[in-house]
Amino acid sequence: MEKEGASLSGADRDESPWLASYPEGVPANIASPPYSLLGEIPGDLAKARSDAPAFSVYLPNGMGASVSFAEIDRLSDRFAAYLRECLRLDAGERVAIQIPNGLAYPVIAFGVFKAGCTLINVNPLYTAAEMTHLFADAEPAAIVAIDMFADKLAAALKAAPVRHVILSEAASLFPFPRRQLIHFVQKYIRKEIPAAPFPHARLTEALARGEAAIRGGADVRNYSRALDPSAIACIQYTGGTTGVSKGAMLTHRNLLMNVAQFLAFFGEGIGESDRVLTVLPLYHIFAFTTNFLGFYTRGAKNIVIPNPRPLTNLRPAFEKEDITFITGVNTLFNGLLHEPWFTANPPKSLRIAFAGGMALQEAVALRWRELTGIPVIEGYGLTESSPVLTANPPQKVKLGTVGVPIPSTEIKCVTDEGNLAAVGEHGELIARGPQVMAGYFKQPDETGDTLRDGWLHTGDIAIMDEEGYFTIVDRRKDMILVSGFNVYPNQVEATLARIPGVKECAVIGVPDEATGEAVKAFVVRASPDLTAEALRTFCKTELAGYKVPKFVEFREELPKSNVGKILRKDLRWEELLKHGRRAPEPR
């Protein structure tokens, strides 16, 4: 991979002050990624790492299995041949994958890329209505889904048909006796596998037919020979935490450049001896790019968790593997800090923890460092940017910031008038770089609103300090207006998180006759003795009066996305209904 060395001329320091904080040897720009297409990766790793385990999975009962780099290359060839030779899909046709973390995921994903097709990641926990909306928008030619949710899939297919359906199992690619045992328990003892009343193939059958096609002369390498790096590799639907999800079109170059960017930024900090705990779902853009593509490219081992809830499901992985790296969101790190089995024996092998997806609360970061001895390195990104835009340099972490732009990334904050915000001044964060999407699928108006003059307008309010570190203040859409004063929920939530007895919290604005909007806090208590008055008393010592929650509601749990991000939009919807306001149900 070619690199350009960092240049620290006077102009660079003024326009890109973050370059001075780059770790030694990190380039300012990445000239080109090491691959042209994503489907090229498995063959290289099969040669370099062959029999080394690439993915291991652990079930809650401690049962596990692994696949090697060579097996992923071989099996993904078979799946690619099945798509092209047996299903007769053309290059560019869309294939949805709707399965939880497991050994089948990398085989299917790389198979789609090798076939020259476009991957669509779908959350397995979607309702039938959500699936119908996505299928109607994305129009996949085929879908690989987990058999446990065949009933929801059947309902969705009636409204939005998909030509070809392949069903996988929770224990796909486990050794034969264990796979059969797990399937028998799920189907006949727990009755967790409903009937599939639609034509379908099993994944095992698909791989067998693909193998036969290769034996018959099919050349998998031919499928993508005419493909260009600008071809769409993925249509990645946004999480929909602030509205209806949209399909971000990510090219092969987008994703490969983003992998090259953050791997260059971390340098030798990520290598083939690493074992990354992949708790976040691989169908989510954070884990998809960093864990699946990034760590795989370095020859490291992914330890995947099919279902992280409850968090005790992670215990077998920590007990059986010397985990060196963990990626997650604030709620994951906070949750582990409340698990007695984790706090009693924090992992000694852990070197790096990387947070993204939502604001990392300072109280959580401080407790994590005190317990584990390592900092949580916070970064920032969006689905639309593949996703990584910034990260804290491991040698110079600034708590409360999302770090500095990674190589080949330009970021600035602009005012409502479109002017460059001064250092320390609030403004909308906009970004430019090779990882920024090609646009939204079938939504030219939304694309035009988000991509302007080559810049991605994120909708996040941020500030930059003198050294080029960025702090995300909040989402523009989440800002609360109290008597004309701006209140940013992240600040209030960070204050609440420091209160002993607060386990989780979320803050939104609710209608108020006197002030237009008022601050309301939803709190999950770690201690039943915690009162609303105690919360307000603490907040009054830390926040201006108009920022102190006027209303407090205690709950057993808060609504979360598939990666554990607290969904303020769901809470706002509930409150609007309480106040008699008409509001569409959040997607």
Task: Identify whether residues 291 and 349 lie together within a single domain.
Answer: yes
157 and 214 part of one domain: yes
Is 54 a member of any domain?
no
**Tens digit of pLDDT for each residue in 139-179?**
999 999 999 999 999 999 999 999 999 999 999 999 988 88
In a domain, 510, yes or no: yes
List own/partner pairs for 182-187 with CB under 8 A and 24 or more apart: 182/59, 182/63, 186/148
Q: What pLDDT is stored for residue 580 in this prediction?
A: 65
pLDDT along the chain (587 residues), means of 10: 36 74 94 95 97 96 94 98 98 97 98 98 89 94 97 96 96 90 89 94 98 98 96 87 74 98 93 96 95 97 95 96 94 93 96 88 93 95 96 93 97 93 95 98 94 94 95 86 82 93 94 86 95 95 91 95 87 82 50
The reported pLDDT for the residue numbered 338 is: 93
**Domain co-membership, 284 together with 352:** yes
DSSP-derived secondary structure for 144-210: EEEGGGHHHHHHHHHHS--SEEEEE-TTTTS-HHHHHHHHHIIIIIS-------S--EEHHHHHHHH
Q: Which of 460, 475, 490 is a domain's end point?
A: 475
Placement of tokens 């007990």 in the chain: 319
Inter-residue contact 528 to 501 (CB < 8 Å): no
Where are the alpha helices (H) located in 313-376, listed in sequence order? 315-320, 330-336, 340-344, 362-372
Looking at the structure, do residues 464 and 529 belong to the same domain, yes or no? no
Same domain, 427 and 490: no
Task: Judge whether 448 lies within some domain.
Answer: yes
217 and 145 within one domain: yes
Contacts of 344 (CB under 8 A, 6+ apart): none
Neighbours of 366 (CB within 10 A): 14
Whole-number pLDDT of residue 423? 96
pLDDT at 498: 93
CATH of the domain at 526: 3.30.300.30
Tens of pLDDT along 31-49? Answer: 899 999 999 999 999 999 9
Q: Which tokens in the block code for residue 433?
A: 């770089």
The CB-side HSE value for 57 (13 A sphere, CA atoms) comes to 23
pLDDT at residue number 410: 97
Residues 453 and 541 occupy one common structural domain: no
Instruction: Provide the CA 188 distance to its chain's centre, in angstroms.
Output: 34
Alpha carbon distance 374, 372 (integer Å): 5
In this predicted structure, what is the pLDDT of residue 336? 96
* pTM, rounded to two decimals: 0.86
Choose the final residue of a domain: 426, 456, 475: 475
Same domain, 146 and 269: no
What is the 8-class DSSP label of residue 476?
G
Averaged confidence pLDDT in the chain: 92
Residue of 565, 496, 521, 54 lying closest to 292 (CA atoms): 54
Same domain, 389 and 299: yes
Contacts of 461 (CB under 8 A, 6+ apart): 426, 427, 428, 429, 472, 473, 474, 475, 476, 479, 488
Per-residue confidence (pLDDT) for residue 6, from 0 to 100: 39
| Confidence at residue 12, expressed as pLDDT on a 0 to 100 scale | 43
Q: Are 571 and 453 found together in one domain?
A: no
The answer to whether residues 342 and 490 belong to one domain is no
Cα distance between residue 313 and residue 248, in whole Å: 32
Residue 57 inside a domain? The answer is: no
Give bridge partners of residue 249 from the DSSP assignment.
235, 439
- pLDDT value for 14: 60
* φ, ψ for residue 116, nearest 5 deg: 75, 15
Domain termination site, one of 433, 454, 475: 475
Identify whether 349 is part of a domain: yes
Give, in degrees to the nearest 5, the angle at Cα 433 between 428 and 436.
80
CATH number of the domain to which 449 belongs: 3.40.50.12780
E strand or H helix that includes residue 496: helix 489-497
The whole domain housing 519 covers 480-578
> What CATH number does residue 161 fall under?
3.40.50.980
Q: Give the integer Cα–Cα distance in Å for 554 and 159.
A: 39
The secondary structure element, H or E, covering residue 455 is strand 455-464
Examine residue 222 and state whether it is found in any structural domain, yes or no.
yes
Domain-embedded: residue 428 = yes
Burial of 513 (0-12, 13-18, 19+ CB in 10 A): exposed
Structural domain includes residue 238: no
Number of domains comprising the chain: 3
Strands (E), 221-350: 232-237, 247-251, 275-278, 301-304, 325-328
Secondary structure (3-state) at 379: strand
φ/ψ bin of 243: left (φ > 0), alpha (ψ from -120 to 50), beta (otherwise): left
SS (H, E, C) 69-130: HHHHHHHHHHHHHHHHHHCCCCCCCEEEEECCCCCHHHHHHHHHHHCCCEEEECCCCCCHHH
Q: Assign 285 to helix, strand or coil.
A: helix
The backbone region for 418, taken as left when phi is positive above 0, alpha when psi lies in -120 to 50, beta otherwise, is left
